[in-house]
């Protein structure tokens, strides 16, 4: 009997996930800030059940943007993207929760807004890819790199989410 209970507990423990284990970087680009969409975008992530652990409104320095988008440096649109992102304030955020990187991308919608489903941020608020109002990390490793670029460790808040028991099993 004890062996059976330990076996069941072991399987249960392996299937449990730590909702704090994953963080993603989401930035509202200058077009989203200028259009007054910060609150609506935050609301989508909050309603899903994700926890905001950092956020700041800032004019991103060109050097930061060049580093952030360095994987696109060989693309013809790179210089225009960096210039655009430096053209106005950006609202940078870190969100935390179970599968937040992949789910965050789904909440944002496809990079090209015309390919985004209604109900996604880009599907509801955008038309052109060059004005797709948000950036979202595309992988856990990318998120870690981007968070480190945009935020100092002491800017990341670690706290127990009051609604955790109502969101996670």
Q: Is 91 known as a binding-site position?
A: no
* 135: annotated active-site residue: yes
**Which residue is it, tokens 């919608």?**
109
Other beta carbons within 10 angstroms of residue 51's beta carbon come to 22
Q: Is 29 known as a binding-site position?
A: yes
Alpha-carbon distances of 80 from 34, 62, 77, rounded to whole Å: 18, 12, 5
Q: Which of 28, 121, 135, 136 is catalytic?
A: 135
Q: Is 105 known as a binding-site position?
A: yes
Q: Is 111 known as a binding-site position?
A: yes
Long-range contacts of 76-81 (CB under 8 A, 24+ apart): 77/130, 80/130
CA contacts within 13 A on the Cβ side of 158: 5
Q: Is 35 known as a binding-site position?
A: no
Annotated binding site: 29, 77, 105, 111, 122, 132
Annotated binding site for ATP: 29, 77, 105, 111, 122, 132
Catalytic residue numbers? 135
């Amino acid at each position: 009997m004890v062996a059976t209970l330990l076996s069941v507990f072991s399987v249960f423990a392996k299937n449990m996930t730590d909702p704090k284990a994953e963080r993603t970087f989401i930035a509202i680009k200058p077009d989203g800030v200028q259009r007054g969409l910060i609150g609506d975008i935050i609301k989508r992530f909050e309603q899903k059940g994700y926890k905001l652990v950092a956020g700041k409104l800032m004019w991103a320095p060109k050097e930061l943007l060049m580093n952030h988008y360095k994987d696109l440096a060989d693309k013809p649109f790179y210089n225009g993207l960096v210039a655009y992102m430096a053209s106005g304030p950006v609202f940078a955020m870190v969100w935390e929760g179970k599968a937040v990187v992949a789910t965050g991308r789904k909440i944002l919608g496809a990079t090209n807004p015309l390919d985004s489903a209604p109900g996604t941020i880009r599907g509801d608020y955008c038309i052109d890819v060059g004005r797709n109002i948000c950036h979202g990390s595309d992988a856990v490793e990318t998120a870690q790199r981007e968070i480190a670029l945009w935020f100092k460790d002491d800017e990341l808040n670690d706290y127990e989410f009051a609604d955790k028991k109502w969101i996670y099993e």
